[in-house]
Copies of this chain bind each other. A is one copy, B any other.
């Protein structure tokens, strides 16, 4: 007997019929002898419906009021799920974020969890009840309702699992697990049986939307054993845990990609302006990813960096405003780019893998415009039109043909 935390996403509780299936899964876990704490997202398109009401009122809602409004979605789904479990003869109780003791920063719409007061959850567990917690939300020191931003319910689940020292945290979703790449792009994509935290973190950050990076980071920091699995069947999913693999034959775990990348190039910049440029962009919330710096000549150089295309107008505005002070000559923009990356903890001891990646891309005639590397990934910026070709070729060469032992 142990304590299991389960998390169900919005599509898993998208209708009363689906809530029924979810209730079955929860009851199955409970009757197998475990204590069960469930974290649930808002039903299907509830959040979108609420946001469409907001759009009729204002284009710039107060973030405090937005949290007040959006948090109702999870409160609804959690109470409906508790009713369903009760109706099936088991005892369940729903808790809002504040009732569950989820304490966050006073930062609306994107707050981080600071602490969890588990006393009330434990009280209900001690009464042999199934505890259903409204995900995505918490309360700040001023007793205002906060929300956790994208992937917030994943984070709630992992944080609750960590605080309760749960045996594991099952993330139920509408896919079977974590795949070597997106199956919608590459039909040969395989489900991974397991993946390390760091690899998952890279995959998540690089656009594999199955699990939010913040949740993975939390799981890594508190060593919470995660499993991503489907709420529609009973097949095992992908376990995410500390990487303990001794075998290094499987160097690359997955091919990740991210769309809507833009490269910004500043021509003839003084070296002294570099820190100012990136401080300026960071202050405006622009996330600069890959940076390439040309060789300086007389303390001036050309510098390129990649950003999300969503941040482009903000970036250009800021740079043009400060053109005099930053003292660069010209600015050049290239949009319609994509980032394609290979991820794998085995790469740290296999320096040849980056070379292999470039060879594969070169054979396909794909021009690599920018590169960045970490110990467990190599990212390339390429033309958006060549993304699918690149993903497929890299997946074939670095995963399928290596017959990695951790695949099914």
Q: Please list the residues of chain A having a beta carbon within 8 angstroms of any beta carbon in chain B.
A: 16, 19, 50, 53-54, 56-58, 61-62, 64-66, 68-69, 71-72, 75-76, 78-80, 82-84, 86-87, 93-94, 96, 99, 120, 143-145
Find out whether the CB atom of B76 lies under 8 angstroms from the CB atom of A54: no
Find out whether the CB atom of B79 lies under 8 angstroms from the CB atom of A69: yes
Residues of B within 8 A of A99 (CB): 143-144
Residues of B within 8 A of A54 (CB): 80, 83
Give Cα distance in the complex from A96 to B94, angstroms: 17
Give Cα distance in the complex from A76 to B71, angstroms: 9
Find out whether the CB atom of B58 lies under 8 angstroms from the CB atom of A76: no
CB-based nearest B residue for A60: B87
Which of B16, B53, B61, B64 interacts with A53 by CB under 8 Å?
Answer: B16
Most chain B beta-carbon neighbours within 10 Å: one of A64, A78, A80, A145: A80
Find out whether the CB atom of A16 lies under 8 angstroms from the CB atom of B57: yes
Find out whether the CB atom of B56 lies under 8 angstroms from the CB atom of A83: no
Find out whether the CB atom of A94 lies under 8 angstroms from the CB atom of B120: no
Find out whether the CB atom of B69 lies under 8 angstroms from the CB atom of A80: yes
Residues of B within 8 A of A68 (CB): 75, 78-79, 82, 94, 96
Residues of B within 8 A of A86 (CB): 58, 61-62, 65
Residues of B within 8 A of A53 (CB): 16, 80
Q: Which 10 A-B pairs have the closest CB atoms?
A: A68-B79, A72-B72, A69-B79, A58-B87, A16-B56, A65-B79, A65-B83, A65-B82, A61-B83, A57-B83
Residues of B within 8 A of A144 (CB): 99
